[in-house]
Every structure is written in C-alpha cells, then in structure tokens.
Structure 1
Amino acid sequence: MNLEFYKNQAALKQKDHKKFLDQLKKKPPKNLDYKVQETHDEVFSKIDCLQCANCCKTTGPLFTEKDIERISKHLRMKQADFEAKFLRTDEDNDKVLQNLPCWFLNADNTCSIYEVRPKACREFPHTDRKKIYQINHLTIKNTAICPAAFEFVELLRKNLEK
C-alpha cells in the first residue's frame, strides 16, 4: 500500500472532497445512508487494513471510561495502572495514548487487544455512519491518514452520480 501516494492524493483533492461533502450536507440525497453503507462495504472488500495500519501508527484514539475499564480488565491491570502506563490527558481533557505508534500494534499490523479495542478504533475511519455529512471535517482529515477513507470519498461521489 503506497501511503505517500494516498497522502498526496488526499492533499490534492482536499478542496474537491470538501466541496462534495458540503453539498451532501446542504442537500442530502434520500438514499444517502444506504449509498454510504454500500460504498463502505465495497471499499473494505478491496482494502485490507492489515496491509496498512497507518491509523495505529500515526493517530491515537480517544479512550472512554468504558474503554479503559474493559481493556484494563482484559489486561488484568488496575484502571489507574493502565492509565499511568499507557495514557495521558490531552489539551481537550481527553484520555489518549502517551506515544505513537499504538502500544498494542503488533509487528504484523494486528492488534494485541483487538477483541476489546477502544470504540474509536472499532469505528475508524467512520465511513459507515448514518448522516455522514455530520462528520465532514473528520472524513476530510481521515482521507490523509487512511487509504480506505480516501477511496470511500472518491467512490461515494461516483456512486451518487449514478
């Protein structure tokens, strides 16, 4: 997977993508949620996240209290110890990883806590959301990180033109 190519393409097409997504917000097609899910499924039938894992290498997820509770239990750690070892509080007062790449990313791009991973990781890159236009800023941001998010925006545009 050529991450540099996708990063460059995302930068080149950022204005076009933003314009397209803004149009969806102004006047969402009636079948948008269906088209979004269909497009998401199509993209992920072709892209294997294990070939990339750029999200795990470059962006840290937000950890909710439920995530912390679930993961620390899974690791048989006290929540306070888990937080002290792996997390920090950022400028928005959110709990995030102290360092990147993610502590739980294995050498083969698998996740050592996959079954109990944070909600943010389960939902990334958020391309199967209903009312996707509510997260346009996030979708644009994710196209620079995630090849699947970039391909999703490109394909959604084509699918909505049909």
Structure 2
Amino acid sequence: MKHKVNEIDIAHYRSLALQHQKEHRQVLAKLKKKPPKNLDKMALEIHDSVFSRIDCLTCANCCKTLGPDLKEADIERISKFLRMKPAAFEATYLRVDEDGDKVLQTMPCPFLGADNYCSIYEVRPKACREFPHTDRKKIYQINHLTIQNTVYCPAAYEFVEALKYRLK
C-alpha cells in the first residue's frame, strides 16, 4: 500500500533561502578562509541531524526541478537496470544541454512516482545519490553549489542555518 506524503512547503523554504542568501554566503566564505579543524566532523553531524528531521519523500523538489548531469557510468547502470541499450535510453530520456552535459529531457524526473519514490533508486545517478552534498568533506570547496542548493532543498537550507549557529 502506498502512503500519502505530507509535502514540505517548498515556496516557504525558497523564500527563506533567498532572504538569507547574503548571510549564508558570508558564513560559507568565512569557512573557506579559515575552516575549523573539526569542520568535516561538524558538517557530518549537522547533515545527519538535518536528515533525521527532514524526509526527502515529503519533498522531492530536487527530482521535480533539478535534473542531474548523467555520466557514462550512470547511463550504463540505469540502461542495464531498465533492460535497454544505452543509446535507446539516451534517445528516450536524455538531451545534451548548453554545457554539453547529458541531462533529462523533461522535468519532473520521469522516474519519480506520484508518491515521491524513485523507480530507479537502487541505480540512480551519482548526482542524485550525493545531492545536496552536505555530507561532503571540505564543504567550503563547494560554497557556490551549497548556496544554490539552499534555494531548492529545505535540508540544504537547514544545514547552512545549523552550521551558522554552530560556528557562532
């Protein structure tokens, strides 16, 4: 039996993220200049804490609005899972964007179900597995991406907010 999800208010989080973008940039810029010795441990603790409270299945905004950059390994793995030839998978689901990256032809993701479950979850693209990248070591190396992700992902926003308070 499929369960109904209570969706997160994406518009509210987007608004908050945009309002706090300047402040978040400053917090992350300070990290880049002088990262605390325990930053990786602190970031992982915050990441785990945020994801203990936020269930991606109640949101899935990334799957609805952000298309992953699919690498050859992703294409091979997913097409095998779908029992398709890689060329047929590409023709059916992918296009080349302005940067030359292979991305989904349509959004929301064609593999996202109405219940926010991913039909290819076990073999999903690396970009999907790693999103929103808040458990990454040396988080300050991707400040631009972290700021961008706060606009789309409530967990990324909560992560930066928690990081801000931990650093005070």
Q: TM bucket by the smaller chain?
A: over 0.9
Q: Which residue of 1 aligns with 2:4?
A: none
What is the distance in 2 between the residues matched to 1:43 and 1:85? 36
Correspondence list, 1:35-50, <5 A: 35-50=42-57
Residues 32-62 of structure 1: CA distance to partner in whole angstroms, max 9, x if unpaired?
A: 0000000000000000000000000000001
Q: 1:82 aligns with which of 65, 71, 89?
A: 89
Partner of 2:73: 66
Q: Are residue 98 (structure 1) and residue 105 (structure 2) matched?
A: yes
Q: Secondary structure in 2 aligned to 1:63?
A: coil
Secondary structure at the counterpart of residue 103 of structure 2: strand
User: Residue type matched to 1:95 in 2?
Assistant: K
Kept after mapping to 2: 8 A contact 1:54/1:146: yes
In structure 2, how many angstroms separate the alpha carbons of the residues matched to 1:158 and 1:11? Answer: 18
The alignment status of 1:130 with 2:137, answered yes or no, reads yes
Deviations 1:43-99 (A, max 9, x none): 000000000000000000010100000000000000000000000011111100001
SS in 1 for 2:20: helix
Residue identity matched to 1:36: A
Taking structure 1 as the reference length, the TM-score comes to 0.98
Question: What is the root-mean-square deviation of aligned Cα atoms in Å?
Answer: 0.5
Say if 1:35 and 1:160, in contact at 8 Å, map to a contact too.
Answer: no
Distance 2:70 2:166 in 1: 34
Q: Which letter does structure 1 place at the counterpart of 2:102?
A: K
Aligned residues: 161
Q: After TM superposition, give the deviation of residue 160 of structure 1 in Å.
A: 2.5
2:62 is aligned to: 55
Q: Give the conservation status (yes or no) of the 8 Å contact 1:6–1:150.
A: yes
Q: Which amino acid aligns with 1:38?
A: E
Runs of 4+ in structure 1 off by over 6 angstroms are none
2:166 match: 159
The answer to whether residue 117 in structure 2 is matched with residue 116 in structure 1 is: no
